[in-house]
Copies of this chain bind each other. A is one copy, B any other.
């Protein structure tokens, strides 16, 4: 019972807008200071950042522990992605890093602290959730893209390897080169080089650009269609409490039957 009320208190603190802004401000401030380490800043600032960093880490840690204790079924706790995410960040923040020895890893670990913001700001959680929901939809288009890339990379590494091994040496490098061509990054330099040997190799590049652009276009259309479909489904669900046209017709039919009955009786009564 005690944990429950503590948890509620922490949840209230966490969802408090002022607390949210305070934590985001500290994270951003600490991010800027860490980022600015190459500049000459007074050492007091670093000390302040260090203290604030520890304060946030401890708040997060305490909140997480209470949330964990509050969870009835301890197994369910780690089925929630956000719980795992928060735990990883807190653990990473708690790893003691010897500045002189592991400074490199330590700095990287502290950088991921900005991810706390995602956990703190509910709008970002919503955003990330919707991003993750869109992922499987993109999966098959990605697979199709990979097939296109693979076939072109295999052809490219077979035909152009001797022209420029740095770009077409093996399939992995060819895949990278093709990605570069897809982003239009100096793709003509790549093309002109192979065209000196194979005059018609522009067909290779142009067909590749058309295929990938086409697959990409299809992906965008697919997403727009699915978005519209979801919107329509949502709208329909909202209207589902309303009677349908068919129900209205049935009502009118029963009305007719009643009047017919009345009519029949009337005829009988008058006869």
Contact = CB atoms under 8 A, between A and B. Distances in A.
A171 B36 contact: yes
B246 A243 contact: yes
A264 to B, nearest CB: 10
A229 interface: yes
A71 interface: no
A31 B209 CA distance: 22
Contacts of A84: none
Interface string A186-214: 11100000000000001000100100001
A252 interface: yes
Nearest to A31: B150
Contact of A235 (B169, B202, B232, B252): B232
A108 to B, nearest CB: 6
A244 B242 contact: yes
A172 B157 CA distance: 26
A46 B45 CA distance: 55
Contact of A263 (B31, B209, B217, B258): B258
Interface in A241-271: 241-249, 251-256, 258-263, 265-267, 269-270
Residue among A161, A246, A260 with max Cβ neighbours from chain B (10 Å)? A246
Given A154-B108, A202-B176, A228-B231, A143 B117 contact: yes
Given A35-B171, A245-B243, A255-B259, A130 B202 contact: no
A266 B270 CA distance: 9
A111 interface: yes
Contact of A35 (B37, B118, B154, B261): B154
B259 A258 contact: yes
Nearest to A251: B252
3 tightest A-B CB contacts, nearest first: A35-B171, A111-B154, A38-B170
Given A127-B140, A131-B218, 19 more contacts: A35-B153, A111-B150, A111-B154, A115-B151, A121-B140, A121-B143, A127-B144, A130-B218, A131-B214, A131-B215, A221-B223, A224-B227, A231-B232, A242-B246, A251-B256, A255-B255, A259-B259, A265-B267, A265-B270
